[in-house]
Amino acid sequence: MCGIIGFLGNGEAVPVLLDGLRRLEYRGYDSAGIAVLNQEGIVRRRAAGKIANLEAMLTSNGVAGKAGVGHTRWATHGAPTRRNAHPHMTGRVAVVHNGIIENYRTLRDDMRAGGRRFESETDTEVVAHLFDALLEAEGTPAAAMTALMERLEGMFALAILIEGDDVVLAGARRGAPLAVGWGEGGLFLASDAIALAGHTRKVSYLEEDDLALVRRDGVEILGTGGHPVKRPVVDTELSGAVIGKGNYRHFMEKEIHEQPVAVGETLGRYLDPDAGSITIPGASLGPGAVERMTLIACGTAYYAALIGKYWLERLARLPADADIASEFRYRQAPMVEGGLGVFISQSGETADTLAAMRYARGLGRTVLAVTNTETSTVAREADLVLATHAGPEIGVAATKTFTSQVAVLFCLAVATARDRGTIDHHEVARLAGVLTTLPSTLARVIAMEEEFRQIAWDVAEARHVLYLGRGTSAIVAMEGALKLKEISYIHAEAHAAGEMKHGPIALIDEHVPVIVVAPGDELFDKTMSNVEEARARGGRIILITDEAGAADAGPVADRMVVLPAVDSLVTPLVHAIPVQMIAYHAAMRKGTDVDQPRNLAKSVTVE
């Protein structure tokens, strides 16, 4: 959600903070602000809207100082105005915050009664006042931070700039990530290592309820109870170049194009093409070990979960459920003995997914994480991590992490099927062969971009769009509808094609493009019957199919794209690309903000 950064160093803080905020902007872009410490005390600059507005303000009204904190906001409490922008200041402190302070009303009422005055509608300002008061009462930042953690409820990460103490920055983590960066030119606190790319690769990730006290001579990390603890310093392998846009206009465009490499890198961890084998290291998946799998995630990752469910049922004949994380624990879903929870999250920090995972652990179930962030909370708390190796994904719309998740889930389904004896080693070797050629097929599909762009320009004129498919193609259709809504703001719905006649067909008229995802598989003819029904009611049909489908389709479609043929099992990976590109080019045509669509944030660390 929000991005936070703190810096204490030898050089000027503002360029470092701004650079970090630009890298964190994917986490939220409702407002931005910085506070720096200099001879005058703490000086603050804030602006509503994107970081560019803050930069413009700093150009005309700059501030100097060698320590500071910065924030880019995704609004939770209070409108995205300058008044509600972080940092929030009072007395000797300036606070930036990611997450939610759940008991802020009670704390604010108590402090108001004690004479403190609040300027904003945020929960964060309560932290500033409370910490300032505790600093007075306790005398040291360490004691004040410990007392602060006892008083705050919720999930949050904090970075606090302190005037008049050798502890210049204090950080805390509870439920939202915070990293300490160890640079040559200074010390850092940041929501994630991406913020520090170009400044340092040496990072320590705080654990739950850790505090970090940053002085000129180093960082002291205190664990629960205020005792000093050591957290490993890891090399993040992130460089400024890795997370730049390169020659692309948008991160989303770049990330769509990176899919052959992302999927190839990911498959490389589970697939041995020479041996014709697919393995999930560390997992026992056979009968007795796993009786059921429950795949849980949010948004795009949930669609990956649904595809995984189809494969687990079909290939491994294993009962499998896919569930939305935000619903799972609140309905107190049972998980049977021998049930394995599979939690899918590119960021590994999604609050709903994390909470659902903790619920499953609370039931005593083994939990497995599929994540693109091996240092994330989801990864750290899982019994086993199946990493995707897609590289950093900055565009808010998930693309390469989706196909990478789907690739891992295919490997999981194949390995489970082998362990359950529902497929033999010949079939595993055949499927390993299918996967081996997949990255090059993805590259061929990406090369068809101009065809997808033409469709997108047509779609961009519509107010409503329908996506249809059957089997795993229905899930690709759902992902296509989500992508279109998310970045082009066009209303889109996806349905399993067979469901149309039970209601959604009433939506169809000549103004509604109907995008049909239908590879030439065993469901093709059934899908085409539903397409005929839509066409008979004036629907404009855009058919995404393959060579076999094109041969069978007849003159049903107003437009058709013909993708390379692949084994019918892996079509979701191939057919995901056109729906991503249609959404991307529709957004381009409409001129919306592709990488930072309105109201959204990349990493959703609040419930």
Interface residue list for ligand M6R (CB under 6 A): 298-301, 345-347, 350, 353, 396-398, 486, 603-604
8 A C-beta contact, residue 187 and residue 175: no
Spatial strand order in the sheet of 366-371: 320-324, 292-297, 339-345, 366-371, 384-387
What torsion do the CA atoms of 431, 433, 435, 438 make, to the nearest 10 degrees?
A: -140
> Which is closer to ligand M6R, CB of 352 or CB of 419?
352
Nearest to 468 by CA among 424, 430, 513: 513
Q: Give me the least distance between CB of 343 and ligand M6R, in Å please.
A: 9
Q: Give me the least distance between CB of 376 and ligand M6R, in Å please.
A: 9
Q: Give me the least distance between CB of 346 and ligand M6R, in Å please.
A: 4
Bond preceding residue 87 cis, omega within 30 of 0: yes
| DSSP bridge pairs for 188 | 7, 181
Q: Give me the least distance between CB of 191 and ligand M6R, in Å please.
A: 13
* Catalytic hit among 2, 50, 66, 309: 2
Dist. CA 326–CA 331, nearest whole Å: 10
Burial of 452-478, coded b for 16+ CB within 10 Å and e otherwise, reads: bbebbebbbebeebbbbbbbbbbbbbb
> Which is closer to ligand M6R, CB of 19 or CB of 486?
486
> Which is closer to ligand M6R, CB of 216 or CB of 485?
485
8 A C-beta contact, residue 180 and residue 221: yes
**What residue is closest to ligand M6R based on CB?**
299
Q: Give me the least distance between CB of 60 and ligand M6R, in Å please.
A: 35
8 A C-beta contact, residue 161 and residue 127: no
Q: What is the DSSP letter of 291?
A: S
Spell out the SS3 assignment of 183-195: CCCEEEEECCHHH
> Which is closer to ligand M6R, CB of 300 or CB of 473?
300
CA 187 to chain centre: 27
Confirm whether 602 is a catalytic residue. Answer: yes
> Which is closer to ligand M6R, CB of 406 or CB of 543?
406
Q: Give me the least distance between CB of 600 and ligand M6R, in Å please.
A: 6
Q: List, in order, residues 6 or more apart from 264 with CB less than 8 Å away.
A: 438, 439
Backbone angles phi, psi at 15, to 5 degrees: -60, -35
* Catalytic hit among 50, 66, 483, 602: 602
The amino acid at 229: V
Confirm whether 298 is a catalytic residue. Answer: no
Q: Give me the least distance between CB of 398 and ligand M6R, in Å please.
A: 4
Q: Which two tokens stand for residue 347?
A: 């960021």
The amino acid at 284: S
> Which is closer to ligand M6R, CB of 405 or CB of 571?
405
8 A C-beta contact, residue 582 and residue 481: no
8 A C-beta contact, residue 371 and residue 238: no
DSSP 333-348: ----TTEEEEEEESSS
> Which is closer to ligand M6R, CB of 47 or CB of 75?
75
Which residues form the catalytic set? 2, 602
